[in-house]
Amino acid sequence: MTPGIRPLIAGNWKMNGNQREAARLAEALRDGAENADLLICPPFVHIHQVAALMLGSRVAVGAQDCHAAHHGAHTGDVSAAMLRDVGATHVILGHSERRTNHGENDAAVLAKTEAALTAGLIPIICVGETEAERLSGLADSVVEKQLAGSIPYGFITAGGIVAYEPVWAIGTGRTPTERDIAAMHSTMRSALVERFGPAARTTRLLYGGSVKPSNAVSIMALADVDGALVGGASLVAEDFLAIAKAVPE
Ligand code: PEP
């Protein structure tokens, strides 16, 4: 944890759940958590409903992507302003599944992040190396390049969040060692402070990749880990709340 930062536990529901399931999961999280802020990111089609259910609660609602343009001829896409309009406050950008499945590069993530900031959404930018990159000793340089290429000015002061998500740890049940997570978070903190100044000392740096109740206590205790981005375990309310409970007081 970073002293002075209230941790955030963010749930990425990915492409899961019908309306009834989304409502049931959201209701189960409504009371929030003691030591951490909670954020849930349902699929686009459930955001309006879930945001309405969460009104007046301590749980924020976000999206998993947005388009870089405000409006226009972009079939199948959703703008940041539309997300804000239906109650989202955050948006995950540059998730490795978007980078892999939709060919998103740092320039695209940068443009989307700028659009999110313009619309008043808090962006959560995901970065992380592949297994081959880690095995080749390239993890630090890959992540530093992603940070340099995808974070615009204005991000830090707007409360932008960075999530370190090693691609090989997502949905696999595998995680880096605690030492490697702490080292990468320290590298990211230094890179952000070097570029943006002392304000970046309080930027939330989340870890994501196979976080579950059984490993959350040790991961959340690491220096510069200010919360988690949780995929699979965020679909089970008890597990998501157990991860939030693992945050040190
Ligand atoms: C994710 O997709 O952002 C993620 C962290 O997934 P999981 O927790 O399932 O590894």
pLDDT tens column, 48-82: 999 999 999 999 999 999 999 999 999 999 999 99
Residue 88: closest CA among 118, 48, 126: 48
Q: Nearest-CA neighbor of 219 among 44, 3, 7?
A: 7
The pLDDT, as a whole number, for residue 3 is 83
Instruction: Give the per-residue pLDDT at 131.
Output: 97
Percent of the chain with pLDDT over 70: 100
Q: pLDDT tens-digit profile of 92-148?
A: 999 999 999 999 999 999 999 999 999 999 999 999 999 999 999 999 999 999 999
**Residue 101 identity:** N
Q: Which atom of ligand 1 is nearest to the CA of 97?
A: 2
% of residues, the chain, pLDDT over 90: 96
Q: Is residue 165 among the annotated active site residues?
A: yes
Q: Which of 96, 49, 43, 119 is nearest to 208 (CA)?
A: 96
pLDDT for position 129: 98
Give residue for tokens 């304000």: 199
Q: Which residues, judged by CB distance below 6 Å to any ligand atom, belong to the binding site of ligand 1?
A: 12, 165, 170-171, 208-211, 229-233
CA distance 122 to 60: 11
Query: Angle at Cα 164 formed by Cα 158 and Cα 169, nearest 5°?
Result: 150
Q: For residue 150, what pLDDT band results from cuts at 50, 70 and 90?
A: very high
Active site residue 95: yes
The mean pLDDT of 19-35, rounded to a whole number, is 96
Query: How confident is the model over 1-19, as pLDDT tens digits?
Result: 788 899 999 999 999 999 9
Mutate to test the pocket of ligand 1, among 229, 234, 240 (most ligand atoms within 8 A of CB): 229
User: Contact at 8 Å (CB) between 142 and 131?
Assistant: no
Question: CA-CA distance, 124 to 61, in Å (whole number)?
Answer: 12
Mean of per-residue pLDDT scores for the chain: 97
Domains of the chain: 8-245 (3.20.20.70)
